[in-house]
Structure 1
């Protein structure tokens, strides 16, 4: 018999579109309703999802009538019952509506339903939902994708996550509201021919990674949240979203002042014309970035393995973090279990899940084995700030050019391009003092003999700071093979400290040229089959504590420059398993997915080690490259 119970659910009745609207919540632009299929009673419960109630808490309160204290005691047991038992009583899922064209039906991502159970689940829901809108099963993880692969699509209609993502017209990358002047550019040439101001909100197919500091960003085509542009936008705290067709829908507002809103609970961006505000300067001018006092006394070129986090005042944040990575990989960490020691509802105890991921109850030993067997950090050396200073002080012409640039900045000159270009040219063409040449050559011979290909990276004190990520604004040079190339690349890195963009961005953040220093990393460039970026959070849903976001491409630069679309994955660092968010050139094979799962777990351990506090919740951004045997960690920084 069909019956209705009081809120918070519709039980035993067909879900009409009207009822769906009344019960649905919103996430990432989609309306959705959570549901529970009770196999024992044959009833479906369509939950009131506006409050985003957990499935398990609903079942305990409204079906099993279980007191809250009993639920807390038995939570792990009940989670196993509903997500993993083959003969489970309850099937849990989410029904989402897409542009009023179709529903997608998916389980919770940790669910291990078999092919037969997925078919049963789909059939039951399909029979109890308004038949005017098609329903497509959306496998929630790679395991489910493999289960349904052999079922004909006319028997089990479905859509994969990456197929759905590619058609999603709205992706909120960074929530927020801002007021500014809308600038719509259809081509790179239009963008390059126009000077942008701090109050501009830029709309492009893909916003390039050389943007100045702005008030808002709209990408009219799909892009990865992990490109340099989107990482900068996140660090600046400005609203940023993907909105398909934005070039056309916003063209009539080009040049107008607007209020721009990115709300994850909405179905698209909000753009409302307004009168020009009276504000004469950006609010972020009042917020200055704080930095540690640099140490210029140490002239020693260091082996990266010998550095620790505190050495950032001499060698830069990037080099210090690589040294700290080496220490963790060799000797473990007393902090690396921190994330899993914190209760994260509805999971009150995450340590048993880490035990499953590591395959042993001895968690410290399991973590050490993970890094010993699967993780590598390329060899390298670090040049301290003091070497850069010695190089600059050896040339009177360089000192004169530096003085001209400082004067222009002090006078707040509207254009400093000419001074920056002149100074960069002088740095790149200046003669290396013989003593510096010998020191660098000796250090490479001592620590990097046998390396055939190098990468030369920046490591400034003015990057990877709270409020100033500096992603992509300094130089790195790859595929360097000889001494002449290394010395030229070192000078290119030094010169990037005074390019016009980095100089302006630092000035806006309150970092003067006098306070900015550049160290250099000379590192072995490891052969790899693929590379990418991982952040130990879900940038599309910051409340998601389970997943880390991994981008994969043929090389790291394909991810960070935003030109190519990488393959994008979420990997669960609690229950395990992954799902494909977006496909680039192609999907990866099963062995690579297992490798990425290990990388995700290692990333979560590193998040704990590098956490600035004891909540262990600050995500990290890791660039990596991999071959068939190991993942090589190339750099690590905080993720805004």
Structure 2
């Protein structure tokens, strides 16, 4: 009889558990339209139900009117729509039979309170301060174990409307206390002005014991790893449990984090690209110690997770294939060796300078054509093309050293041996001479174009930022270089042989000899705020017109490394609403050091972005997606000391299905 451990984990979100795909990191009520579209089961209608009630004196009355998501489970979330008519005496309230009328629109039309539902009507009903109706819902919040009243995130509330709703609901729903739940940043602000305590999204998220950063299923050996840098025998079939998110990770079958991270950390982007589950589980170390070294089945879903020891995977399950198509590595243009300024680059130059540099050049050109706002520039820089890297690698002593490393005994069979060999190879490559004339070209370009300002030296290879291979965090960046540019360039070149990069390419079926490394030399920005955003909801693939923004103070390395939770927000284009998901947990920030490199200083304030900045970032992200062919984008940004927004990177957002 095999030992089985099943973990019953608290719901990630009531709405997410109910809908299966809706708002996985928020507690927002899923749209009834979405519920109808995906066909979630609802409770059967009671015989001849009343269309509405004027009061809810007890729980039984509420339940008769309520529509329920995920009935019969711990995540069951009944809710009742309400309509308050401010023109009626004492503010008449309709508690809508939400089983019959799933939307306010349905009820208002049925009662002839509204005769049409044109776009202007929605604005008058939800966004004008002097409106006749207050439209919201009362719902049971499983995580709070209590009732809340809430509004659609696009509803522009005022202190007067909020106070009226609270008073009327307290009067006519007397059987239980009601708390206000804010579904948008604007709701939080209005509640503060009205003197009403609000339950926020950030509070609900912080109280959860689990977060599904990437749902999926995996079968493999569970490994509790204290320090990923000290482990050299991780296998692609391992499910790794980590104290916190590392900056890079070799290919594995699944990831469980004992500390909350950020949805756009490098590790999670790798998980999405590989199609593997990635989960935050509070107290994971204590809960899973008994399974260390055993084969387990991991099933991560939007509302629940299962981790159980078993000798074999469930019947019919097949691991996600990571074999990449041969077309991923297109033939590089090795004819160019001289530096190429970003201002002269377009997407066509991807063949010589890689996707990262070429896209930035394209963004600069789009700005010059007025197709992107000039208020969000790309920091100037230049590309050192593939041809320079190829010339370096073609030197006989370099070729011989690489061949020796790849043919060492035990290299193919042991990940630990590969890591040690590749580490020595990188050190040796740094000591190799450059082909004649290259360093002088770089120094001249640095002086002429950037006046030798501090620069970030970044990879722009042909094996990253691809349509179906992210490569996030696999290659090295050298920050704020003020001297020894050549050594920084060679450091980036040598990172083609980073162990994590080698293993990721190996699993993806990419041939190492085809890898070419261009280098982006870009003027350093002493960022006051920085982060990453994507043009979709990373927790709900069905939700369109949404931008996710992740931010921290200082330079953005802390955002992408994901070791601490970032400030997170969602912007919904249709409603214009901003949902605050979390505050930054960082106590320090990274800044440029005057002598080169970075320095760490204390954070003056945990709050990072104002709503206006989230709005500006989101609109910029949507414009970039539009101009880059409608492909979902993963964008790095920063705000400098003058409050100016700058674009640092745009690449395709890669997510493979884990089911």
TM-score, with length taken from structure 2: 0.79
Structure with the higher helix share, 1 or 2: 1
Please, what is the CA RMSD of the aligned residues?
3.3
- Residue 145 of structure 1 deviates from its aligned partner by 1.9
- Residue 494 of structure 1 deviates from its aligned partner by 0.2
Of 50, 68, 72, the residue aligned with 1:24 is 68
Any gaps of 5 or more consecutive residues in structure 2? 1-44, 86-91, 587-604, 655-659
How far apart, CA to CA, are the structure 2 residues paired with 1:128 and 1:539?
A: 39
- Name the stretch that deviates more: 407-416 or 563-572: 407-416
* Change in 2 beyond 3 A, CA 1:609/1:276: same
- Residue 473 of structure 1 deviates from its aligned partner by 0.9
- Name the stretch that deviates more: 472-481 or 297-306: 297-306
- Residue 178 of structure 1 deviates from its aligned partner by 2.3
Of 444, 447, 456, the residue aligned with 1:445 is 447
- Name the stretch that deviates more: 159-168 or 399-408: 399-408
How far apart, CA to CA, are the structure 1 residues paired with 2:275 and 2:138?
A: 31
How far apart, CA to CA, are the structure 2 residues paired with 1:6 and 1:625?
A: 59
- Residue 314 of structure 1 deviates from its aligned partner by 0.9
- Residue 316 of structure 1 deviates from its aligned partner by 0.8
How far apart, CA to CA, are the structure 2 residues paired with 1:114 and 1:131?
A: 26
Pair 1:178-2:218 in alignment: yes
- Residue 197 of structure 1 deviates from its aligned partner by 1.7
Q: Deviations over 1:550-584 (max 9, x none)?
A: 12212201111122332222233333342321111
State the match for 2:624 in structure 1.
Answer: 606
Pair 1:101-2:145 in alignment: yes
State the match for 2:28 in structure 1.
Answer: none
SS in 2 for 1:475: coil
Of 322, 336, 340, the residue aligned with 1:298 is 336
State the match for 1:163 in structure 2.
Answer: 203
How far apart, CA to CA, are the structure 2 residues paired with 1:260 and 1:412?
A: 29
- Residue 92 of structure 1 deviates from its aligned partner by 2.1
* Change in 2 beyond 3 A, CA 1:411/1:487: closer
User: Is contact 2:63–2:78 with CA below 8 Å preserved after alignment?
Assistant: no
State the match for 2:83 in structure 1.
Answer: 38
Of 616, 626, 632, the residue aligned with 2:646 is 632
Q: Deviations over 1:269-323 (max 9, x none)?
A: 2223332349999542444363222111222321011111121111111011111
* Change in 2 beyond 3 A, CA 1:287/1:20: farther
State the match for 2:598 in structure 1.
Answer: none
State the match for 2:227 in structure 1.
Answer: 188
Matches within 5 A, 1:241-320: 241-264=279-302, 266=303, 268-277=304-313, 283-288=320-325, 290-291=327-328, 292-320=330-358
SS in 2 for 1:375: coil
How far apart, CA to CA, are the structure 2 residues paired with 1:65 and 1:81?
A: 11
Of 70, 87, 98, the residue aligned with 1:47 is 98
- Residue 76 of structure 1 deviates from its aligned partner by 4.7
User: Is contact 2:65–2:99 with CA below 8 Å preserved after alignment?
Assistant: no
TM-score, with length taken from structure 1: 0.82
Aligned length: 577
State the match for 2:189 in structure 1.
Answer: 146
* Change in 2 beyond 3 A, CA 1:513/1:6: farther
- Residue 61 of structure 1 deviates from its aligned partner by 6.2
- Residue 5 of structure 1 deviates from its aligned partner by 8.0
State the match for 2:492 in structure 1.
Answer: 493
- Name the stretch that deviates more: 279-288 or 204-213: 279-288
- Residue 55 of structure 1 deviates from its aligned partner by 3.0
User: Is contact 1:105–1:137 with CA below 8 Å preserved after alignment?
Assistant: yes
SS in 2 for 1:527: coil
Matches within 5 A, 1:115-154: 115-126=159-170, 131=175, 134-152=177-195
User: Is contact 1:618–1:639 with CA below 8 Å preserved after alignment?
Assistant: yes
* Change in 2 beyond 3 A, CA 1:4/1:377: same
State the match for 2:559 in structure 1.
Answer: 559
Of 201, 208, 217, the residue aligned with 2:239 is 201
State the match for 1:362 in structure 2.
Answer: none
- Residue 14 of structure 1 deviates from its aligned partner by 5.1
Any gaps of 5 or more consecutive residues in structure 1? 334-367
User: Is contact 1:209–1:561 with CA below 8 Å preserved after alignment?
Assistant: yes
- Residue 604 of structure 1 deviates from its aligned partner by 0.6
